[in-house]
Amino acid sequence: MRWVCIILLAGTVGCADMSPYFTSVLAPVDTYDTVGPYVVDAMVAAPAGVGLLRLRVTDETGLQRFGDIDFTQDSGDAFSGRWIAELPGIPAGSGYSYYLWLEDVDGVRAYYPEDAPDSLLMFMVHAP
């Protein structure tokens, strides 16, 4: 966390957490669709400015070997907005495990889920 406080001679006026954060994430759920893409939709805010938003993903359940997919900003400005990433289709019986990595222009990071990479989001593609 990064706190910023405004202090005047009369005393402290206020403090605010200036760390980047996720306001919402819409994640894919289990599906029968083998074609894809599977869309991850994230609303983020970074008071110092968004530096990068990345999906760290593995298609090998239980392994900690991750590849990166960058998000593309769909709406908003340099400080907040909606971002989209697409995972390619995979065969039935496969799945993805992943987490989101947000970094502001000063290098301060936030993750979703908060305790990633210890906890991951995941979904499976089932056979019809």
In a domain, 17, yes or no: no
Spell out the residues 6+ positions from residue 5 whose beta carbon is closer than 8 angstroms to its own: 12, 14, 15, 16
CATH number at residue 88: 2.60.40.10
pLDDT computed for residue 59 by the predictor? 72
pLDDT for res 7: 55
Q: Is residue 10 part of a domain?
A: no
**pLDDT tens-digit readout, 8-40:** 555 556 667 789 999 999 999 999 999 999 999
Distance CA 100, CA 69 (A): 10
Structural domain contains residue 71: yes
Name the pTM for this structure: 0.85
| Structural domain containing residue 100 | 22-124
What pLDDT is recorded for position 65?
75
Q: How far lies 50's CA from each of 4, 5, 22, 33, 37, in Å? A: 18, 21, 11, 32, 25
Q: Which residue has the higher pLDDT, 94 or 60?
A: 94
CA-CA distance, 83 to 23, in Å (whole number)? 11
Domain count for the chain, please give it: 1
| pLDDT tens digits for range 50-83 | 999 999 998 766 556 789 999 999 999 999 999 9
Question: Could you say which DSSP state residue 32 is in?
Answer: S
- Determine which helix (DSSP H) or strand (DSSP E) holds 116, and give its type and residue range: none
Distance CA 125, CA 128 (A): 9
Residue 78 in domain: yes
